[in-house]
Structure formats: C-alpha cells, structure tokens
Amino acid sequence: VEASIPEPLREAWRKHSATEFTTKDEFEKDLVRHIETTLARSLYNCDELAAYSGTALAFRDRLIIEWNKTQQRQTFTDQKRVYYLSLEFLMGRTLDNAMLNVGLKDVARDGLSDLGFRVEDVINQEHDAALGNGGLGRLAACFLDSMATLNYPAWGYGLRYRYGIFKQEIVDGYQVEIPDYWLDNNPWEFPRHEITVDIQFYGNVKKYQDESGRISHSWEDGEIVQAIAYDVPIPGYGTKTTNNLRLWSSKASSGEFDFQKFNAGDYESAVADQQRAETISAVLYPNDNLERGKELRLKQQYFWCAASLFDIVRRFKKTKRAWGEFPDQIAIQLNDTHPTLAIVELQRILIDKEGLEWDEAWNIVTKTFGYTNHTVLPEALEKWSVPLMQNLLPRHLQIIYEINLFFLQSVEKRFPNDRDILSRVSIIEESHPKMVRMAYLAIIGSHKVNGVAELHSDLLKTTLFKDFVKIYGPDRFTNVTNGITPRRWLHQANPRLSALIAEKLGSYDFLKDLTLLDKIEAFVDDKAFREEWAVIKRENKLRLARHIKATTGFDVNPNALFDVQVKRIHEYKRQQLNIFGVIHRYLSIKAMSAEEKKKVVPRVSIFGGKAAPGYWMAKTIIHLINKVADVVNKDPDIGDLLKVIFIADYNVSKAEIICPASDISEHISTAGTEGSGTSNMKFVLNGGLIIGTCDGANIEITREIGEQNIFLFGNLAEDVEDLRHRHFYGDFKLDPQLERVFDAIKDNVFGDKADFSALTSSIEEHGDYYLVSDDFNSYVTTHEMVDEAFQNQEEWLAKSITSVARMGFFSMDRVTNEYADSIWNVEPLDVTD
C-alpha cells in the first residue's frame, strides 16, 4: 500500500518540514530541547552522559534529514547501486565523526561550552560500536565512509549483534573476556519494525511436476525466524549524501506456530522458542582469521544473506524491470566468504520463486557478485560440513551440488586429459564428512575475485586459486590494495596534524583527495613547519602517556621512543617475536656498565590486542607480555631505559589515541601471511615510522614512501616454504640470541617457566612454523638501526614528514573508486542541491 500524501495536502508538510541547525544558537536550542524533552532531564541533573545523548540526538536529527533526502534521490534516479555484505562492521564511535563530516564540530564545541561542557569529554562518553574483530570489519566501516563521501549509491548489510566483540580486562596478567552489551540508549540506529523478512531453516525439499512436465522444487516445513531491519545513517564527509547501513536482528516469527503453542498452554516451550530465535543475532563470533564450523554461525550467515537478498530483490521488483537487468541495477560485494550463501540464495529465488531457467538465472547471479578474499591462512578458509548443511539448508545444498555439477562438466570438457583437476577444484571436498569449500563456491559464483594487497593477490593466483586461474583465465582475478579513511584516521584522530597540513595547503581539500598531501613535501626543510610537526607528535605522545598512566598506573617518559604493536594477537602476526626482542633488550641493558647505559635510547614498548577466547597460544603471548612488564617496569637497573606496557581492550577509539602517538610501530608478520594490514597505513599517515617484514601492504608502503623511510627486515615470502621444510627435516639451530632469551624464561625470570613452555617449544621443538628464530637476528639488528636513526631527530623528522606526504595512495577513496570501476561498474550520484 502506498502511504504517500496526495499533492493537494502537501502544503502543510512542506511548511513544517524539519530544518537543520547551522548556528551555535540553533544547536543549543536543539540540544536543550532534546535534554528537556527526549531525555526528560534539566539543567539541574545534566551530567556528561546526558550532554552526550542530547548532542547525539541533535546531530542525529541532521543526519536523518539528509539520509531521507539521499534515499529519495537514489530511488528517484534509479541507477545502479552497490550492496556491501559484511558480517562485521567495526564502526567505533559515531558522534565525533558525524560532527566532522557535517562540518559543525566547532559549532558544537562553542555551544557545549556555553552550557558548561567540553566537547572532548562529551565525545568520550560514547560506547564504541564494535561489531567486528579486526581488519576485515574496520575495512567495511572505512568502505561505508568512503562510499558516502564519494556519493556512491551504496548500502551496507550486516547483523545487529546484541553483543559485539568482548571487552578485554587483564587480571594477573591474563586476558579475561567481558560481554559487550552495547545497545541500550544507542541513538544511532532506527528500528524498522515494519521491515521484516521470514527466514526458513531445516525442513525438506519436495519435487513437483506440472502438466507440461516441468520440474520445480519447493522447500517446505522447518522453522521460521523473523528478521527485523535496523537502519544506521552513514554520513559522507563534506557532502549531503547520507547512505544506509541495514542491520538485521532476529526474533521469533509471529506466525501461527508460536500462537498455537501459547494457546495450547505450552508457555515455557513457546518462550524457549523465542529465546532460540533471538540467539541467532545475539553474539559476534570473536575469531579473527579462524573459522570453526559451528552450526549457529552458519545460521547467522544464512539468516543475514536471506534477509538481505529478499530486501534487494523486493526493491528491484518495485522497478518493474526485466530480470535480465538485475546486474545492471545491482552490484553485490561479498566481504570474504561469510556471505557466500547469498549466491545460492539468489539462484534459489530466481529458479524456485521467480520461475527462471537455470542458465538465465546463473548468468544473472555471476554478473551480480564480486568476492574479496582477505587471507591465505588455511585455518581461516571456510568449509561447511555437508551433513550440517543438508540438515539446515536442504534446498541450498541441492543447488550447490547442481552448480558444482555444471562447473565440473565444463572443466572436464576443457581439460579432458587432466583427471586430478576435477577433485582439486570441486566445491565438494571428498573428505569424511564431505565439506563445502566456500571460497571455491564464491569464485565460481562471482565475476571478479580480488585480494587486498599485491603480494596477497599474487599468492592467491599462484597458490590457493591457481587451478581457477587456469580455468577462468587471469582476468577474473584482480588486486585492489586496501586503504583507510583519512577522515577518521587523520582528521578525527589527529586534529592538530590535520590543521597544520590544511594551513600549509590552504584548505582541507586533501581530506577528499589524499594525493594532495604530496604538496607538504615542499615544506620538509621549513624550520617552523618542522618544529610544529615535532610539537604535535609530542602532544600526541603526552596524550597517550596520560591514558597509560590512567589505565595501568605506569609513568612513561614522553621523550622515549614509543614502539607500538597493536592488532589482534595471532601467532602469524608474531607479537612473540616482539616480546622476545624486548626481553633481549632487557637482558642487554642489565649486562651494561653505567657508562654503556648512557648511550641507550630509552624505549617504551607498547602492546595491545585481543586474543580469541579459545586461542591458547595467543593468550599465552598476552600473559608473557604482562609478566615481562611486571619485571622490567620495576627493575631499578632499568629505570627509564625500558618500559613495557600492555594496553587493555584495544579498540577503534583507543586506536584513535594510539596511532598518532607512535614513533615506530611493528608490522612483523611472517612473510606471505598478512593479507594487507591496515594499521600500518594508519601509523604512517600519522607521522610514525614503521618496522616491518616484506608482507601485505608493507611492500606497497615501501614503494610509495621510499625504502630509506621504512625499516624492513626478515626472510621473504618466496623463501618461507623452503625454511619450513628445513625445520621439518631437523636442519635447524636456534638463533643464539634467542636462546639467551629462552634461557632467561627457563630460569623463571618472568614467573613460572611452565606457563610459557608452549611458546618456547613451538619454536625449539615443533618446527617454528612462523619462523621466529629465522628472523630473530635480522629483527634485533634492525631495531639497533631504529635506535640509531632516532638519535638523529632532525633526520627522523624528515622521514616522518616525507612519508606522510607520500601516503595519498592509501586513501580508502582510491580503493572505493577502483572497486566501482573494475568490479561494480557503478557511478557516483551527483548531489547538486
């Protein structure tokens, strides 16, 4: 039913249509009105939290007005749209970002100050929206920011988890996980109780034949869970475009089934059914780069894919276009294999519900989807057991077998003499139980597959997916190196640096075209500019030092070299290499004379990151870091020369404090294991130097900023296989400096050695899979070069400025435009009013 008001009655609507504040006075009026009415508070009981809520509501009003207009405009122009499907959106806080994007932070600052508040304190009241694990989820959030900023008609689709990534506490040196219930008083979401989709699970498939002999399938019975839409406005920077992020929440279906139970007096079991339905969107799985094959996770994936596809198809059908035009109107990007079922679901809708022929449907499907791969780690590649899928999604499994059959037939025709290729590329792995290989299904169902950095994309083509390159040719595979949004990761996190750059360039245009940063290289010898640059870094270090003092109680010397590694804790990211390096440094200082100590460059080694709750080795690494901190930080022989800090609960809002405050940061994964990495970009963009391996985007960062501006070390990806082989055949001698580190651990210097035996033995006895020993010498030597370089502050500063100037390539806007041109074939929608 159309709910549109007829033209003769629209006058009153237009007269009273909501307006947007622009001045300080108007902002104050909106703020006070929200505090007094929406929040039912007054000037007698307005604390910082209430001031936050009122401010958020005032800005929310603005976003909503533009969001409505944007949606109307996009519907009206009816051009191709992008749908970004991601199980994770690691958004962080919204208010600061919204203020900056609409260009009214100064207005808010002045207004809040009139009413007795500091804008920074108000902003700090907000709880992070942490619906993601790490890089993959943050990339999705950067995409949304960039797509809105560039005026692309684009929606995100995800799950509205009741619990985001857990909060981390450190108790006696161990990680403890606290549930992250974040939804109370979240002003940034709009429930759309009228937008619902019924989602089916289990049941069975019936086959029918009509008079003409045509066979059709129907998925019957099973259980129904309801998906409810929650919408989140996504404002672009310096544009009126405000896109939509639609998150689905699960609820028991209000269908007959439950009423029957309630009516039959089976109250308890009816309530239990409701609880079970709500479980689907209850919690984000806390694994980064690991898939564990749990049924509830598969339910989450299907629930979200089916709801999103229904929504997309419903919108398309309103346009009354022919099905063949579907791929001209719609591009769907799969963020990893998590949404691969969307491919199967669209095929099912087209053949089972809309009556298309298989080939016609499949042609539409493959033209619609693109698939982004984020990792080559085998433990992260999704496989679902066939019996599990048979039970939960019987019709989808049939369709997968059908897709596989047609695919293998075509492969057999092309490679009649290659018997092995069929079993190698089959979507079904012939194991016990059989498994569905989701990455293969995603490749077969998409027209483009991309990796996230050059090395990573090359490895995909030469290792993981090499058979598919043979089958489809190299053009199906492409690279789009990741980026970050300069709005959040420069302007918001580092306002002073952003202002200094704007002052030199004459405007903030670089925030929309980051390649303009190259103009600051002309000021690298400008004395005043250099001094300001140094002062800003120092201020940012002081801000972090205050945070460290407040959260850990430790004092750190702001003149020391701040050495930071913050990211998920994972063996492949090698925080163990870092902490072993710290122990090596500690032992070296302990062995020094007073004279020698005078030459030591003081250091603060800062760690942060969460371990997946079931990942024991990662938790052991956290434990060791904290034990080393206990010993080192109170050792009178060491004083200010070395401090070790573990920052608990690393998240997006902490990253905004940490990234601008590093002198050097560590990106030291075993070569060939990190897809891209994106914190490397955040640190360099904020004037920090980096130490890293030749891995992921480090390689392209080196190419852009110049190898004299980065500290690279370690073995290359091409040598990893051979080194592992040698370990396997016992051709291995522990690096002698690492041996000294292990001896200290085994002398119980950092508490009970038994606590860390898994860590040392994985290197000494179990093949050193991540090549910690092989890279140790190179790592330690490179850190000596870092110390030496840091002593020449003038040269260090030049490296810092030059690097920032050359970071334009890593803007998410470049990434978004590349996807738009080479994968989605969509155009921006110009906003003229």
Residues of the shown chain interacting with ligand Z16 in the complex, contacts defined by CB under 6 A = 133-136, 139, 288-289, 336, 374-375, 380, 452, 482, 674-678, 696
Q: Could you give the CA distance from residue 566 to residue 569 in angstroms, rounded to a whole number?
A: 8
Cα–Cα separations (whole angstroms), residue 690 to 338, 374, 400, 582: 32, 22, 45, 17
Residue 226 in 3-state DSSP?
Answer: strand
Residue 535 in 3-state DSSP?
Answer: helix
Residue type (1 letter), 113: S
CB of 338 to ligand Z16, least distance (A): 9
CB of 369 to ligand Z16, least distance (A): 18
Residue 421 in 3-state DSSP?
Answer: helix
Of the two residues 394 and 483, which places its CB atom closer to ligand Z16 in the complex?
483
Q: Which residue in 119, 123, 118 sits closest to 95, CA to CA?
A: 123
Q: Which residue in 626, 620, 635, 630 sits closest to 607, CA to CA?
A: 626
Q: Which helix (H) or strand (E) holds 692?
A: strand 689-692
Of the two residues 676 and 760, which places its CB atom closer to ligand Z16 in the complex?
676
Of the two residues 482 and 492, which places its CB atom closer to ligand Z16 in the complex?
482
Q: Which residue in 439, 288, 454 sits closest to 818, CA to CA?
A: 454
Of the two residues 107 and 436, which places its CB atom closer to ligand Z16 in the complex?
436
CB of 498 to ligand Z16, least distance (A): 24
CA 809 from chain center: how many Å?
19
For residue 774, give every residue at least 6 positions away whose Cβ sits within 8 Å of its Cβ, in sequence order, or none.
714, 715, 723, 735, 768
Q: Could you give the CA distance from residue 56 to residue 67 in angstroms, rounded to a whole number?
A: 16
Alpha helices (runs of H) in 349-453, residue ranges in sequence order: 358-368, 386-392, 394-414, 419-425, 438-444
For residue 793, give every residue at least 6 positions away whose Cβ sits within 8 Å of its Cβ, in sequence order, or none.
534
Give the CA dihedral 424, 425, 431, 436, nearest 10 degrees. 160
Alpha helices (runs of H) in 483-570, residue ranges in sequence order: 486, 495-505, 527-552
Rg over alpha carbons for the chain, rounded to the nearest Å, is 28
Cα–Cα separations (whole angstroms), residue 747 to 67, 501, 741: 62, 51, 10
CB of 505 to ligand Z16, least distance (A): 29
Of the two residues 133 and 762, which places its CB atom closer to ligand Z16 in the complex?
133
Angle between helices 812-819 and 135-149 (to 10 degrees): 80
CB of 460 to ligand Z16, least distance (A): 12
CB of 288 to ligand Z16, least distance (A): 4
Q: Could you give the CA distance from residue 25 to residue 41 in angstroms, rounded to a whole number?
A: 20
Token digits of residue 156: 């995100």
CB of 684 to ligand Z16, least distance (A): 14
Q: Could you give the CA distance from residue 418 to residue 398 in angstroms, rounded to a whole number?
A: 26
Of the two residues 341 and 604, which places its CB atom closer to ligand Z16 in the complex?
341
Of the two residues 239 and 676, which places its CB atom closer to ligand Z16 in the complex?
676
Q: Could you give the CA distance from residue 224 to residue 283 in angstroms, rounded to a whole number?
A: 20
Q: Could you give the CA distance from residue 712 to residue 559 in angstroms, rounded to a whole number?
A: 24
Of the two residues 605 and 669, which places its CB atom closer to ligand Z16 in the complex?
669
Of the two residues 311 and 336, which places its CB atom closer to ligand Z16 in the complex?
336
CB of 79 to ligand Z16, least distance (A): 28
CA 724 from chain center: how many Å?
30
Q: Which residue in 527, 534, 526 sits closest to 496, CA to CA?
A: 534
Task: List, by residue number, the catalytic residues.
Answer: 374, 567-568, 573, 678, 682
CB of 777 to ligand Z16, least distance (A): 26
CB of 452 to ligand Z16, least distance (A): 4
CB of 136 to ligand Z16, least distance (A): 3
Alpha helices (runs of H) in 248-374, residue ranges in sequence order: 256-263, 267-279, 295-318, 326-329, 341-348, 358-368
Q: Could you give the CA distance from residue 823 to residue 277 in angstroms, rounded to a whole number?
A: 36
Length of the chain: 833
CB of 650 to ligand Z16, least distance (A): 14
Of the two residues 30 and 288, which places its CB atom closer to ligand Z16 in the complex?
288
Residue 755 in 3-state DSSP?
Answer: helix
Closest residue (Cβ) to ligand Z16?
135
Of the two residues 31 and 165, which places its CB atom closer to ligand Z16 in the complex?
165
| Residue 757, φ and ψ in degrees, nearest 5 | -65, -30
Contact between 142 and 149 under an 8 Å Cβ cutoff? The reply is no
Token digits of residue 582: 């710290």
Quick check: bond before 433 cis, omega within 30? Answer: yes
Of the two residues 88 and 735, which places its CB atom closer to ligand Z16 in the complex?
88
Q: Could you give the CA distance from residue 715 to residue 694 in angstroms, rounded to a whole number?
A: 8
CB of 693 to ligand Z16, least distance (A): 13
Q: How many CB atoms lie within 10 A of CB 207?
A: 9
Token digits of residue 296: 């509830």
Q: Could you give the CA distance from residue 165 to residue 177 in angstroms, rounded to a whole number?
A: 9
Of the two residues 347 and 678, which places its CB atom closer to ligand Z16 in the complex?
678
